[in-house]
Chain A
C-alpha cells in the first residue's frame, strides 16, 4: 500500500470525474487500480464521496410556495 501519492492533484480530478459519472471506461480502470493500492487516494475518494453526499442528501430542499405556483398559473392564463 502506497503511503504517498506523487500525483494527487491529477488523481483528485479523476476521482471527481468518477463520482460525477463523467469518467471514460479507460479512466475508470486506471483509477480503480490506483484506488486499491494508494492510501492517500482512498482517503481522498472517501472525502469527495462524503462531501457530495452531504450536498445531495443533507441540504434542505425548499418547495416552491403554493402562492407562487398559483400566481404563475394565473399570469400564464391571462396571456391568452
Chain B
C-alpha cells in the first residue's frame, strides 16, 4: 500500500484545504481549476455529483489504472487516490461537463506523480527517449509491417493485452484512451496536456509499434500452422 491513507487521514476533517497542504508533488487538478472558476456546491450537491457523475465511470477508471500499472494493488490504490482527489477538488468541476475526461486526467496525473516514479518496471520509459528512437525516417517506412487483417483476426484478448502492455507507457496510454475508451483527439489532448498534433503523431507511432508486436504473435501462429500441415 502507498502512504496515501496517512495523507488522507491527516486532512480528513480539514474541509477545503490548499492543494499543496496534502499534495506534495503537484496538484493534479491544477490546470483544470485554472480554467474553470471554483463552484460553491453544497455538501448535498457534492455527494450528488460524485454519485451521479463520477461513480458511473469507476469501471473504466479501474481498467485504465490496471492497464497503466499492470498491477491489481497499484490499480486499487490509484483509483482510490483519484476518487478522493476528485471529491476534494469537486468545486473545480463544472457540473454537466465531461466528468469522464476530468477523472481520467486526474488519474493520469496521479499515476505520473505518485506511481510511475517509484515503479521498477523497465517498460516505463519517458516518451522523449522513445520519441527520439522512433522518430527517424526508418520508423516512417516501417508502417507497412508484414501483417494482414486475416492474420490478426485469430488473435485472442490475452495476446492483444500482452502486446499492448509491452509498449512504453506513453504509447500505451494513447491507445487505451482512443481505442478502448473512445475519447476524441481533443479530449485526449486535454487529458494528456499535449497539443492535438502530438496526440495524432503519438497515436500513429503507438499503433505502428503495436502492429509490430502483434506481427510476432501472428507469425508464431503461422509457423505452427505450417508445422501441422
Name the contact of B147 in the complex, choosing from A47, A59, A78 (C-beta under 8 A): A47
Name the contact of A71 in the complex, choosing from B61, B80, B179 (C-beta under 8 A): B80
Complex interface: chain B residues within 8 A of A75 (CB): 8, 80, 84
- 5 extra A-B contacts, CB within 8 A, seeds A12-B143, A48-B207: A46-B149, A51-B152, A59-B157, A61-B63, A76-B84
Q: Is the CB of A68 within 8 A of B80?
A: yes
Name the contact of A20 in the complex, choosing from B66, B140, B161, B185 (C-beta under 8 A): B185
In the assembled complex, the CB of A38 is this many whole angstroms from the nearest CB of chain B, namely: 13
- Bound complex: CA of A26 vs CA of B164, how far in Å? 32
What per-residue 1/0 map shows which CB atoms of B147-176 lie under 8 Å from chain A? 111001101111011001000000000010
Complex interface: chain A residues within 8 A of B32 (CB): none
Complex interface: chain A residues within 8 A of B226 (CB): none
Name the contact of A61 in the complex, choosing from B59, B76, B84, B140 (C-beta under 8 A): B59
Complex interface: chain A residues within 8 A of B62 (CB): 62-65, 68
- Contacting B at CB under 8 A, from A63-80, are 63-65, 68-69, 71-73, 75-76, 78-80
The interface of chain A, by Cβ under 8 A from chain B, is 8-9, 12-13, 16-17, 20-22, 40, 43-44, 46-52, 54-56, 58-65, 68-69, 71-73, 75-76, 78-80
- Is B204 close to A, CB under 8 A? yes
A/B interface sample: 19 pairs, CB < 8 A: A13-B200, A13-B204, A17-B200, A20-B203, A47-B148, A47-B152, A49-B149, A50-B152, A51-B207, A56-B179, A58-B155, A59-B157, A59-B161, A64-B79, A65-B62, A68-B76, A69-B58, A75-B8, A80-B43
- Is B191 close to A, CB under 8 A? no
B interface residues, how many (CB within 8 angstroms): 49
- Bound complex: CA of A58 vs CA of B180, how far in Å? 10
Complex interface: chain A residues within 8 A of B58 (CB): 64, 69, 72
A-B contact count (CB 8 A): 107
Known: A8-B144, A16-B203, A75-B8. A62 touches B63 (CB 8 A): yes
- Is B135 close to A, CB under 8 A? no
In the assembled complex, the CB of B15 is this many whole angstroms from the nearest CB of chain A, namely: 9
What per-residue 1/0 map shows which CB atoms of B74-86 lie under 8 Å from chain A? 0010011001100
- Is B41 close to A, CB under 8 A? no
- Bound complex: CA of A62 vs CA of B158, how far in Å? 13
Q: Is the CB of B175 within 8 A of A55?
A: yes
Complex interface: chain B residues within 8 A of A72 (CB): 58, 79-80, 83-84
Complex interface: chain A residues within 8 A of B204 (CB): 12-13, 16
A-B pairs, top 10 by smallest CB distance, nearest first, are A64-B62, A46-B149, A55-B179, A50-B149, A58-B157, A64-B58, A47-B149, A72-B83, A54-B160, A63-B59
- Is B47 close to A, CB under 8 A? yes
Complex interface: chain B residues within 8 A of A63 (CB): 59, 62
- Is B87 close to A, CB under 8 A? yes
